[in-house]
Amino acid sequence: MLIQDHFVGTFYDVVKASNSFNMDDVQYTVIYVDSPATFEIRLRSFGDTGKNVILINCYGHLSLQDVDIAKQHKFFIIDSRRPFHLDNVFANNCSILTYSNEIASWNLPTIDQIYMESDSSDGEDDYGEDRDLMVQQRIIKNAAKAEWSRKRKDIHWDYYSQTWYSIPSAVLLLELAHSMGKSNANFAWCAAVALSSQFTDSLISFHQYASICTDNMKQFVGKYGQKQKSCGDLMTITFDEE
């Protein structure tokens, strides 16, 4: 499911209640993964030691339904890569943090357009001895399923046809921390590096970079950064030559 905008009550407080943040005097474990195979290995090693798993830039575009998951595990996905896998969007054990103002651009389908309810309970005995009616109803059902499957393929194509990157996860987390009065210069620096990395790696356009600088990062640059008269609303990071 999607968690939109109000991340404190629907994400932070939920995870905090399970003792997951060191900043609130509770423990957490950070595990690095670099592939789906590594993710599954790390998840198995995690075992029953925790309930909530926060995935940062990890597995948002892959289906968690294909992974052997313990029943008690609840996943929170914070990922800048789009689109998210639809299995994760509609899964009950998975919550995706995102901003509501970008969802309209996803071409997000409804759950009934992607997943068909099982009709295995419909038995042939329901029609009694009227075999002709049974055959007729079966033909109608099969035709409806075929049409639904055709439309589903078109919807899948529209949803997955393009890939792009949205606001960096570090920027989202910085804004979340700031909303609780927990932001600091280190958080702001990490967000600035993440945003600059997206831009220099050509994952986002200059327009996206400038918009995020102005709409999301400006207040933090003004609060924690050095004043630079020449940069205006844009944020600059200077690197020494190696």
For residue 24, pLDDT beyond 80: no
* Alpha-carbon Rg for the chain in angstroms: 23
For residue 127, pLDDT beyond 70: no
The b/e string for 146-179 (b: 16+ C-beta within 10 A; e otherwise) is eeeeeeeeebeeebeeeeebbbbbbbbbbbbbbe
Tens digit of each residue's pLDDT (9 = 90 or more) over 165-218: 999 999 999 998 888 888 888 899 999 999 999 999 999 999 999 999 999 998
More confidently predicted of 9 and 23: 9
Q: Rounded to an integer, what distance in angstroms lies between the CA atom of residue 211 and that of residue 133?
A: 61
More confidently predicted of 69 and 15: 69
Confidence at residue 69, expressed as pLDDT on a 0 to 100 scale: 81
Confidence at residue 157, expressed as pLDDT on a 0 to 100 scale: 93
- Model confidence at 1, pLDDT cuts 50, 70, 90, reads confident
Confidence at residue 53, expressed as pLDDT on a 0 to 100 scale: 87
Confidence at residue 174, expressed as pLDDT on a 0 to 100 scale: 92
Report the amino acid identity of residue 95: S
For the CA atoms of 71, 75, 81, 84, the dihedral, rounded to the nearest 10 degrees, stands at: 50
> In the predicted model, what is the mean pLDDT of the chain?
82
Q: What is the DSSP string of the chain?
A: -EEES-HIIIIIHHHHTTS--GGGT---------SHHHHHHHHHHHTTS-SEEEEESSSTTS-GGGS---TT-EEEEE--EESPPHHHHH-TTEEEEE-GGGGGGGTPPPHHHH-PPP-TT--GGGGTT-HHHHHHHHHHHHHHHHHHHHHHHHHHHHHHS--EE-S-HHHHHHHHHHHTT---HHHHHHHHHHHHHHHHTTSS-HHHHHHHIIIIIHHHHHHHSPP-TTSTTS--------
Confidence at residue 180, expressed as pLDDT on a 0 to 100 scale: 84
